[in-house]
Amino acid sequence: MTMKLLPAFGLLLCASSATSINAAEETTSLDDITVTGTREVTTKSESSASTVLIQEKEIQRIRPTHPAEVMNRVSGVHVNVTSGEGHMTAIRQPISTSPVYLFLEDGIPTRSTGFFNHNGLYEVNVPQAAAIEVLKGPGTALYGSDAIGGIINVMTRPAPAEAELEATLEAGSYGWARILFTGGDSWGDNGFRADLNITHRDGWRDSTEYDRQSATLRWDRFLNNGASLKTVLAASYIDQAQTGAISRDDYEKNPTTNYTPIGYRSVEAVRLSSAYEHETANTLTSVTPYFRHNVLDLFPVWQLTYDPTVYTTQNDSFGLLLKHRRDYAAMRTRLIVGADIDYSPGSRDEKSITTVKQGSIYTSFAIDETVYDYDVAFTGFSPYVHIETSPTDRLRLNAGLRYDVLSYDYDNNLSVVTTGSHRRPSDTSVDFQHLSPKLGATYRFTNNLNGFISYKHAFRAPSEGQLFRQGRSENTVDLDPVKADSFEIGLRGKSGDKFSYELAVYHLTKRDDILSFTNTNDGTRETLNAGKTLHRGIEAELGMAVTKRLKISTNISYAKHTFEDWSPKSGITYDGNELKRAPRLIAGISLLYKAAVLNGGAVELNWEKLGSYWEDDENTNKYEGHDLLNLLVNYPVNQDMEVYGRLNNLTDERYSTSASFSKFRGEELTPGLPRTLYVGMKYKF
C-alpha cells in the first residue's frame, strides 16, 4: 500500500467529494453518495431517507462564522443564533432546546444520550469540516435514542496526499477576528492532518464577548492485513458571555441592551476515537472505541426571574461502536449487524444565587446554598440489525431493528427534598428498554427519477437533567421516554445537467413528548410528559444552472406542529394549538454568479426567510418572522492566495433569533446581528 491511496481512502471515509446542498456549484446526481444512514458510503438513489450532504468545497466557500450560516441552506432546517456560537435547532420540530437531535463527528455521537447539549454544533470545528451530512427525521436502525428530529454528522478532513500548509486570516465587525490553520503530509502507509481554529468576537450587544480555540488531529494509516485505521483527537474550549432576550420596547429602541452582563458559559469538549475497518470483497468489519470528556460551567440567564442558579455539569464517556457487514450475490442483499456500547459517568453541582439589579440590568450576584449535588452514570447497550435487498433491478428494500437497553445510576449527595422549588429525589436507578423497527424502499423510475418511502419508529430517553433535576415537578424520575412514528415519501430527480430537485412529505407523531409547562401566574416551570404532538410538512430543494455562470438554488419547507393531546393542569388544555416557536414556513434562495472579472471567483446573493410563529403554547402572541439578505464574494488572486468578503443582513433588518411570551414576563425577543461585514485572506504555503 502506498501513500497514493491515502486520498482515495480519505474521500471514501469523508465523502467530501459528494454533491453540494444546492446548485451554487453543481446540480444533484442520483448517484451521489450518503454516509450517515449506514455509517459507510451508499448511493443516495438507494437511500430511503431525506439526506443532504454539504461538501467541503461549499463549506470553504461559505466560510461560516456560525453554524447557522451553512445549516440554514438545507430545506426544513433552521438553526438560530443565541450567544456566541450557541444555537437552537429546528428539523421537523419547533425551534427548541429539546434533546431530539443526534450530533455526530465522523459518525460518533459527540455526547452521551444522558448528557445532551442543544448547542452540539459549537463543540465541533464546523468551518474546517470535510463535509456535513444532515439526515432529516428519525435515524436508521444504526442510531438509537436522540435521533427523532434528525442527525447532523460533521466529518473531519483526511490527511493530504502530499505536504501542505494553509492559513486563513479574518477580520470583521464588532471585533471579529479568526485564524484558521490546516496542514499535513503523507508518508508510506501513514497520513496526518492538523486543523486549528482560534476565534474572538467583542460582541455587538453590551458585554457579549466570545472566544474559542479548537484543534483537530487526524492520523490515517493502512495496516499490512489490508485494514485501515483512522484516529482522531478533537478538542474545543469556549468562553463566552451569556446574554438573553429583552423587552419589545428595548428590542426596537435599544437592541444592544444586555440585561444579564454577569452571565457566562465555559465549555470544555475533548473527543478521542480510533476507527478500525477491514474490508474484503464481501464483508466489512468495523471496531471504533472512543473517549469523550465534557465540562460545562453555566450561568443560565433565562432562569433569573424564577430560579436563579449557577451550575457545573461534567461527564466522561467510554464507548465502543461495533459493526459487521456482509454482502450476498442473491438480489444484491446486504446484511449489517452491530452494537453500540456507552458508559458515561457524570455529575451536576448547582448552587442558588442572590442577584443585585439596577433597573432592568443584573449587575452582580452572590452564591448561596447548594441545591443539587449528584453523581449519575449513564449506561447504554444497543444491538441492531439492518438488511437491504433488491427483488428487481429498480426496487431496493430495507428493514432494520434496534433494541436499546439504557440505564441511569443516580446518587444524591445531599438530603432528599419533596417540596419547594428544588426538590431532590433519593438515590435510585432508572432503566429503559425499547425496540425500534424501521422499514423503507426506493424505486428507480428512470435513470433520472428516483422515489422513496419509509416508516421509522424512534424514541428518546430523558436526559439526566430532566430526570434528576426535579425543580417544582412532583415527579421527574418516572418520566416516560418520548416515542415517535414517522412516515415519509419523496422524489429525487434531474433534467440533464441543468435542473435538479428533491421533494419529501412527512408525517411524524410524538407520544409522551417531554415539555416544560410554565405557570402563567409566577413564571415557574415544570417538566411533564405531553400526551401527543403531531408534526407534518413538505420539503423541497431545487437547483438550476441558468447559464454556465449563473446558478440558482432554492430550499423551502412548509410544516405544521400541533398539540393533539396535552392537558398539563386541570382545566388547561392545549389540544389543537400549535407548538411555540414552530414556524410554518422556512425558505431560502441563492443566486451565484461566476463573473469573469473575479478570476474564477463568484458573487452570491443569499435570501433567508423565517415565517411567523406563536410565542407561547396558548397561541396568544405571534412573532412576525423575518427576511435576511446576505452577500458573499471571493477572488482568487493566484493559485496560492484568495481574498473574500461576506456582508450579512445586507438591509440591516431588525429581527429576533428567538421570541417568547408569557403573562408573567410579557413578550421577550433576542435581537439578531445587524449588518455585519467580514473580510479574509487564505494563503497556501
- Compute CA distances 257 → 66, 243, 248, whole Å: 22, 10, 12
Asked whether 156 and 232 are in contact (CB, 8 A), the reply is yes
Asked whether 142 and 654 are in contact (CB, 8 A), the reply is no
pLDDT the model gives residue 26: 40
CA 44, 45, 47, 50 dihedral sign is: positive
Residues 6+ apart with CB under 8 A from 527: 466, 471, 473, 476, 479, 514, 515, 516, 517
Asked whether 59 and 129 are in contact (CB, 8 A), the reply is yes
CATH class assigned to 3-684 = mainly beta
DSSP string, 622-658: EE--EEEEEEEEEEE-SSSEEEEEEEESTT----EEE
The two counts, helices (H) then strands (E), for the chain are 5, 38
Whole-prediction pTM: 0.94
Angstrom distance (rounded) from CA 243 to CA 258: 6
Rg over CA atoms, the chain: 24
Q: Cell digits for 140?
A: 436508521
Length of the chain: 685
Angstrom distance (rounded) from CA 343 to CA 379: 5
Count CA within 13 A, CB hemisphere, residue 294. Answer: 26
Q: Specify whether the backbone of 14 is left (phi greater than 0), alpha (psi in -120 to 50) or beta.
A: alpha
Angstrom distance (rounded) from CA 172 to CA 192: 32
The H or E element that residue 7 is part of is: helix 6-14
- 3-class SS string, 471-496: ECCCCCCCCCCEEEEEEEEEEEEEEC
First vs last Cα of the chain: how many Å apart?
A: 28
Identify the residue whose cell numbers are 406563536.
614
Angstrom distance (rounded) from CA 447 to CA 443: 11
Alpha helix (H) residue ranges in 203-301: 248-253
Angstrom distance (rounded) from CA 584 to CA 288: 40
Identify the residue whose cell numbers are 422515489.
451
pLDDT the model gives residue 83: 86
For residue 267, give the 3-state DSSP assignment: strand
Reference 291, options 254, 344, 238; nearest CA is 344
pLDDT the model gives residue 663: 85
Asked whether 504 and 48 are in contact (CB, 8 A), the reply is no
Angstrom distance (rounded) from CA 581 to CA 542: 26
For residue 57, give the 3-state DSSP assignment: helix
Angle (CA) 513 514 520, round 5° = 115
Q: Give the mean pLDDT per block of 10 residues along the chain (685 residues).
A: 39 38 42 74 87 94 96 96 92 94 95 92 96 93 84 96 96 97 96 98 95 98 94 97 94 96 96 96 96 97 92 97 96 96 97 96 96 98 96 96 96 96 96 95 95 95 94 92 96 91 97 82 77 96 94 97 92 94 98 94 97 96 98 96 98 96 91 97 96
Residues 6+ apart with CB under 8 A from 270: 233, 234, 235, 292, 293, 294
pLDDT the model gives residue 571: 86
Angstrom distance (rounded) from CA 510 to CA 484: 4
Asked whether 557 and 76 are in contact (CB, 8 A), the reply is yes
* DSSP bridge pairs for 644: 634, 680
Torsion of CA 650, 501, 100, 570, to 10 degrees: 90
